[in-house]
Amino acid sequence: MTPRSANPGFGGWRAGTDGREELEVRVSEAPTDGAANSAVIKLLAKALGVPRSDVDIVSGHASRHKRIAVALDADEVRRRLGN
């Protein structure tokens, strides 16, 4: 996640340092009082066409690298995001 971005939205998929794929997500909100985390959830839910309650930050609440749980499989997430 990139907070305080001038261009909110999604970047590309890339390999993380642990070898897992990660999606770059940019939000304009600052990482203060959970505002950036809320923005990530809102952005993902809207892009995936699911309710916000179906998107959850599982780990990394205070980190740029977050693990997100969504009620969709990985192939469906890629399809809906157009990647």
Residue 83 has pLDDT above 80, yes or no: no
Q: Where are the alpha helices (DSSP H) in the chain?
A: 35-48, 74-81
* Residue pLDDT, tens place only, 28-57: 999 999 999 999 999 999 999 999 999 999
Quote the Cα angle for 30-46-62, to 5°: 30
pTM equals: 0.90
Share of the chain above pLDDT 90, in %: 87
* Residue pLDDT, tens place only, 8-26: 999 999 998 888 889 999 9
